[in-house]
Each structure stands twice: as C-alpha cells, then as structure tokens.
Amino acid sequence: MSKDPEVYLAKDLAGGGEIFRRLNPPARLAVFGDPVAHSASPPMHNAALREQNHDLQYVRIHVTPEELPDALKNLASADFLGASLTIPHKQAALPIMDHVSREAQLMGTINTVAVRAGKLCGSNTDGPGLAAAVIEEFGRSLTQLRVLIIGGAGGAGRAITVQCALEGSPSVIIANRNKEKGDLLAQEIQEHLEFPISSIPMTAESLGHAMKSVDLIVNATPLGMKTGDASPLPHLAEGLLNARHLVYDTIYSGGETALLKQANHVGAKAANGFSMLLHQGVLQNTLWFGEPAPLATMREALRSLRN
C-alpha cells in the first residue's frame, strides 16, 4: 500500500489481493488511475453500497500504464466484482477485455470493467453519463443541441462524441490538437453510424469559427485538472463565447476552472463535471449489481465533497 492510506498500489492485487480481503468491509471494487488520489468516485460509490446493504467497499488503486494489463487480470483472483477506469487507461484497457459492449467498441474506450465468471467485460458509461448530465444541468437533450467537443477524439471526449452521434445531435464538431486523430474518428463514425462529424484543429481561428454555429461547448481535455491550467478556449475563441452558449466542463476536481470563469463572465450557463461523474457512476453501479442505483444518495455524497 502507498503512504496515502486511501490509495493502494497495483501490486496489492497480486497473489489474491489479501490486503483487500482483510479490510472491513472487504474491497471488491476500485478505480484505476494514474494519478488517482484526486478521484471522487470512492465516496460516491461507497455511499451507494451502504444504501444497498452490500458488504463491500470501493477503493482507489494507483495503476501505471505498464501495470494495467496485470492489474486487470488480477481482479478476478482478488475476488473483485469490477473496476472503474480513469486517465490514462480508458483506451489501453480495450484490447485486454474478454468482452466489450457494442457502444464501447464504437467509442473505442471503456471506463467500466465487470468481472463475470472470471471474464473481463468492458463497457462505457461516460457518454450516457454526459447525456444525462446535460439534461440535468441545462434542461435540454443532446438531440436538441449543436455540439462542439474540445478534445473530442480521446478518452472521455471520444465517448461523448459517439454518444452525440448515437442520439442524433443536429451537428457535432470535434476539435483536437492532433487533427488526424479527429479526422479518423469522424470517418469511423460515418462508416459505422452513417452520421456526419466535422473535425477541426484546436486553433483559435477554427474554434472561433465553430463557436458561431454551436449551442453546447464541452471540454473533454485534461485542462483544468491542475490549478493554474489555462482554458482550452484561446483568446480569439474566448471573445466569441456569449450568453447563448451552454458550457460543460468535464473536469470536476478543484475549484472553478478557467473555462467556467470565461463562461460565467459572459453570462453563459455553465456546469462542471460533477453531474457527469454522478450519472456515469449510477450507470456503473447498475452494471455491477443489476439493480437500480440510489441516485439521491450518490448525489448527496458528491455534494458533501463540494462543501
């Protein structure tokens, strides 16, 4: 175990994960990440587990990219029911799974692993979680909104992009630093879903032009996770942000991000990633246990972290 008593290490899963069996209640679910100490998932999921009378707990495990294959394969022998995956594991875990849901295959990423009969089953609740969060925060669905996804070709951004296509958003534009990566995703979605996606580079000029014709702006980049991070919207695009825009920042750690400050400054409706974290977590709980998750309890657990 690491020096932080709330963060375990990948090696703790080896040899049957005895350290997790000795906990009271035993740990049988976890979030894998690098870093992972910031994760708000354990309080949310543990509140749900107590409400559901499940005699187990959910913990943080620091897993590096090199450790991911063994950590995932050790879940079954450590008697784990599954795991959540966060940065940087959502794409790397895909080929390690024994089974992947159709939606997760389209998204090219997974954020949820369920262990069933010793097999690893991968799903993605990020996309549906964002869809539910948008309805909660703004009272409108993705089916009604023209969407710009900054960082839309990687990690959670890719899942959000596919979700917008699945729901039939009027238009979807993805901006990526690596435009070739964005172009490839746009082509894949066109081939599999027959849904047109526009791909643009993450430049001030391109973002500024795109913002003239979109309703919802989603930040799916890591910008905002660290104190002092700049906004993903450069100066030119910032000047085009106005009160008619809806702004959703998937970052939930720390205080108000630079992007949310920009949105609030011009009077745009804005929200951070806590609601997406909540709804994707509710869907994870349902996948693991096959029963309705206690939404209100999980929401209150997250609210307590913000106070």
Distant-in-sequence, close-in-space partners of 261: CB < 8 Å, separation ≥ 6: 231
- Other beta carbons less than 10 A from residue 112's beta carbon: 25
Extract the tokens encoding 102: 């159709």
DSSP 173-242: EEEESSHHHHHHHHHHHHHHH----EEEES-HHHHHHHHTT-SEEEE-SSTTSSTTPPPSS-HHHHTT--
Distance between CA atoms of residues 203 and 101, nearest Å? 34
Q: In what order do the strands lie in the sheet with 269-271?
A: 198-201, 171-176, 146-150, 216-219, 246-249, 269-271
The catalytic position among 3, 11, 73, 90 is 90
Distance between CA atoms of residues 199 and 153, nearest Å? 9
- Pick the closest to residue 199 from 219, 230, 221, 177 (CA basis): 177
- Pick the closest to residue 7 from 18, 27, 15, 24 (CA basis): 27
3-class state of residue 118 by DSSP: coil
User: Phi and psi (nearest 5°) for 167?
Assistant: -90, -10
Determine the longest span between alpha carbons in the chain, in angstroms. 57
| 179 in active site | no
- In the block, tokens 């992009």 appear at 161
Q: Mind telling me the catalytic residues? A: 90
